[in-house]
């Protein structure tokens, strides 16, 4: 009798774990903002409420699925514009507007799953999506050089980063002042050599260079 109960329990547990296993997804993550994320208090105070309201978040799926749809090899990015400095503990930056740039290699089903995944990861930041734009996507992380990565989203967005070095310590008291905007398995701050967005939906475009405003890392859910 005990054996039967144990088999029943294991079977039920397995049924509950199936959706969890089907939802497992992992890959590479990039983020930039128009404010330094690796900086000293004095620099951060000089930017808060002036910049830091614009950002790009990007995910490249190395393996796994979402909503039961395989997404391996696909990429999605979000360009966002908020009402205030993202990460400011004293003022809410919401509501924010977002434009989602979705891998044009995705099927309609995969596109819907990518959008759902990004909104789940981005939370309130990606609640108000103005446009979803299919476009060629490429996200590559240089595993030999920490912090070096590249994102290209058609003609809409471009990010290129490098690792932080000794010459990037401008005041000697730098820390990772702002955490990443979404959940990561691992992340490191980096210098955004190029951080640009030019597209519809946000009422703004930007083209920034040489800011300590990026994160490069991995995600897993």
Determine the pLDDT at residue 143: 83
Q: Which residues contact residue 107 at a Cβ distance below 8 angstroms, ignoring those fewer than 6 apart?
A: none
Q: What is the pLDDT of residues 140-160, one digit of tens each?
A: 999 888 899 999 999 999 999
CB–CB of 195/209 below 8 Å? yes
pLDDT tens string, the chain, 221 residues long: the values are 554 444 444 344 444 444 444 458 999 999 999 998 988 676 666 666 667 899 999 999 999 999 999 999 999 999 999 999 998 888 899 999 999 999 999 999 999 999 999 999 999 999 999 999 999 999 999 988 889 999 999 999 999 999 998 787 766 677 888 999 999 999 999 999 999 999 999 999 999 999 999 999 999 99
CB–CB of 115/102 below 8 Å? yes
Q: Is the pTM of this model over 0.85?
A: yes
Determine the pLDDT at residue 195: 98
Report in angstroms the alpha-carbon separations of 79 from 70, 124, 147, 168.
24, 14, 20, 26
Q: Which residues contact residue 69 at a Cβ distance below 8 angstroms, ignoring those fewer than 6 apart?
A: 109, 110, 112, 113
Q: What is the pLDDT of residues 188-197, one digit of tens each?
A: 999 999 999 9
Beta bridge partners of 158: 152, 196
Residue extents of the structural domains in the chain: 2-220
CA–CA separation, 181 vs 56, rounded Å? 10
């Amino acid at each position: 009798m005990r054996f039967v109960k144990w088999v029943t329990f294991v079977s039920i547990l397995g049924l509950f774990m199936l959706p969890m296993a089907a939802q497992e997804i992992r890959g590479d993550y990039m983020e930039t903002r128009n404010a330094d994320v690796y900086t000293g208090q004095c620099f951060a105070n000089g930017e808060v409420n002036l910049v830091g309201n614009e950002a790009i978040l990007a995910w490249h799926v190395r393996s796994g699925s979402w909503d039961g749809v395989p997404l391996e090899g696909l990429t999605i990015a979000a360009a966002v514009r908020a009402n205030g400095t993202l990460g400011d503990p004293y003022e809410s930056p919401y509501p924010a507007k977002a434009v989602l740039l979705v891998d044009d290699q995705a099927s309609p089903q995969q596109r819907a799953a990518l959008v759902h995944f990004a909104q789940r990861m981005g939370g309130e930041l990606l609640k108000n999506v103005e446009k979803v734009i299919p476009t060629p996507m490429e996200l590559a992380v240089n595993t030999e050089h920490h912090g070096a990565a590249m994102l290209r989203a058609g003609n809409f967005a471009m990010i290129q980063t490098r690792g932080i070095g000794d010459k990037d310590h401008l005041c000697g008291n730098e820390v990772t002042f702002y955490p990443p905007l979404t959940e990561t398995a691992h992340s490191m701050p980096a210098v955004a050599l190029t951080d640009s967005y030019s597209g519809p939906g946000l009422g703004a475009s930007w083209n920034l260079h040489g800011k300590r405003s990026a994160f490069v890392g991995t995600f897993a859910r």
